[in-house]
Structure 1
Amino acid sequence: MANMGSRKHLKRFKAPKNWSIHPKENKWTVKPSAGPHAIEDSLSLLIVVRDILSLADTAREAKRIINTGKILIDGRISKDYKFPVGFMDIIEIPDTNETYRVLPDAKGRLTLHVIPKENAEFKLCKVSNKTTIEEGKNQLNLHDGRNLLTEEDISVGDVINLKVPEQEITESFSFEEGATVLVTAGKHTGEIGKINEIVVNKSSNPNTIVVENSKKDTFVTLRDYAFVIGKDKAIISLPGGK
């Protein structure tokens, strides 16, 4: 029994730091299954239902809610209580008419940000890899595990506005100077600003960018930490009305 538990559960104090749960409440938490998001970048759906949204007091109650199809992720019903919920995912609860987007807070913890219902029709996805295939089409590998085919000229690092659940690309935002970005990791996690400069290092050091926030202060962060959320301004609502 101990071995079975270790595959499905984690002791709370060993949970990733970006999980917004209290390490001293209960002994065990639920480990996300393999899926679109890595374990360190996601929360199991059960944790979302029980510990973050407080829709259930126990794991059994949370499983029952999930199993009856009352939770939608990116427009589709999910009945897997271990489903990995991660950055930019859209969570809908039709029974309560509530809709959320998963975003990081200033401490890097995954949080659920309330959004208008009409915003549930799209999500932003970052292109993590790109492969050119036959007939001039490109296969885009997205940050949430999706793979899409397109004839559009979209580069690695760019972000697409994806209509869900149809998975249709409605627009794209280039990773370029002037783009509005959300910092998703590092000491500036959760900060919003515009790219002032893209610094390409000729050494083995990672590339960086210079970001200017709304107060006209600038800071440097890794290129990989920046997620484009619009051109002149953010197209999604953000915590704190940013």
Structure 2
Amino acid sequence: MKTKIMMASRKLKIPRKTNFWSVTPTPATHNKEDSIPMLILLRDYLKLGDKEREITRILNNNMVKVDGKIVKDRRFPLGFMDVLSVETLENEYIILYDRKGKLVAMPNSPNNAGLKLFKVVKKSIVGTGKIQLGFRDGKTIVTDRKDINTSDVLLMKIPGLEIVNVLKMGEGDKAFITGGSHIGELATIKNIEVKKSSVKNMVHLNEGFSTIKDYIYVIGTPKYTFKIPETEAVVDDE
């Protein structure tokens, strides 16, 4: 399904006057407003072709992977923390927010090869006491581990989704801010203020600002830190 480029998500960092048509993301992992359709990413971000048919050819030749799995759908949505690899490119790319809240594709650190961070947003009991965990990107796994809770961030191997490490939110942890006026910034947790009412819990950062817990995405603890590149422009501002 096509969409006029002017109607595409405002979180896309793309020129609005170069192409008339965009593409509507497939309803899948990420919602429409928080995702980059594959066509836009390969054509307008990474400049792998000027025409839709050129991008389609790349996809049909099994040259593109997201989180280690081949993707052929030009409407496939990529969102925060997704990892993209293209056979003809030397670097992998990781999807992040820049400091204006735009989705950008940044060269991924070689230290992150074969790994991805997943934030737990849902936890439920299934079957005979197994735990099902749902993540921010829509994926799920079933595990025996009962020590994992919502807001924890799991370091997992991709594409197999094997748990390597559990990053729990705590004082001194490094975090990426995913919303609010400080979106796209890296900060260190000073303390967590737990509210007794329905008001959202607040997290206070060493950098002198505070934000709600929902916007905190832990990327590092005193024992391990996932390498996050500094967010900057990949394409010119629209």
Q: TM-score, normalised by structure 2?
A: 0.91
**Structure 1 residue 144 displacement after superposition:** 1.0
Q: Is the 8 A contact 2:93 2:105 kept in 1?
A: yes
Gaps of 5+ in 2: 233-238
Q: Is the 8 A contact 1:30 1:44 kept in 2?
A: yes
Alignment correspondent of 2:175: 181
Q: Is the 8 A contact 1:75 1:120 kept in 2?
A: no
Alignment correspondent of 2:230: 239
Alignment correspondent of 1:3: none
SS at match of 1:72: strand
Match of 1:170 among 164, 177, 180: 164
Whichever residue aligns with residue 71 of structure 1, its letter is V
Measure, in 2, the Cα distance between the counterparts of 1:111 and 1:92.
15
Match of 1:230 among 198, 220, 225: 220
Kindly provide the CA deviation profile for residues 167-193 of structure 1, in whole angstroms up to 9, marking residues without a partner as x: 101111002222211001111011111
Q: Is the 8 A contact 1:129 1:141 kept in 2?
A: yes
Measure, in 2, the Cα distance between the counterparts of 1:176 and 1:161.
16
**Structure 1 residue 240 displacement after superposition:** 6.0
Measure, in 2, the Cα distance between the counterparts of 1:199 and 1:17.
32
Q: Is the 8 A contact 1:20 1:109 kept in 2?
A: yes
**Structure 1 residue 28 displacement after superposition:** 1.7
SS at match of 1:218: coil
Measure, in 2, the Cα distance between the counterparts of 1:100 and 1:17.
21
Alignment correspondent of 2:61: 68
Measure, in 2, the Cα distance between the counterparts of 1:171 and 1:145.
19
Measure, in 1, the Cα distance between the counterparts of 2:105 and 2:113.
13
Whichever residue aligns with residue 230 of structure 2, its letter is P
Kindly provide the CA deviation profile for residues 70-125 of structure 1, in whole angstroms up to 9, marking residues without a partner as x: 11111111011111111111111122222111111111111111124452301000
- Shift of the 141–58 alpha-carbon distance from structure 1 to 2, 3 Å rule, reads same
- Pairing 1:51–2:41 present: no
Q: Is the 8 A contact 2:106 2:231 kept in 1?
A: no
**Structure 1 residue 22 displacement after superposition:** 1.4
Alignment correspondent of 1:219: 209
CA-based RMSD? 1.7
Alignment correspondent of 1:161: 155
**Structure 1 residue 34 displacement after superposition:** 0.6
Measure, in 2, the Cα distance between the counterparts of 1:66 and 1:240.
26
Measure, in 2, the Cα distance between the counterparts of 1:240 and 1:41.
16
Q: TM-score, normalised by structure 1?
A: 0.90
Q: Is the 8 A contact 1:74 1:120 kept in 2?
A: no
Alignment correspondent of 1:85: 78
Query: Sequence identity, in percent?
Result: 37
Aligned length: 230
**Structure 1 residue 126 displacement after superposition:** 0.1
Whichever residue aligns with residue 224 of structure 1, its letter is D
SS at match of 1:49: helix
Q: Where do 4+ consecutive residues of structure 1 move more than 6 Å?
A: none
Kindly provide the CA deviation profile for residues 112-160 of structure 1, in whole angstroms up to 9, marking residues without a partner as x: 1112445230100000010123443211001111111112210100000
Equivalent residues in 2 for 1:1-242, closer than 5 Å: 8-117=1-110, 119-152=112-145, 153-212=147-206, 217-232=207-222, 234-239=225-230
SS at match of 2:48: coil
**Structure 1 residue 64 displacement after superposition:** 1.2
- Shift of the 35–240 alpha-carbon distance from structure 1 to 2, 3 Å rule, reads closer
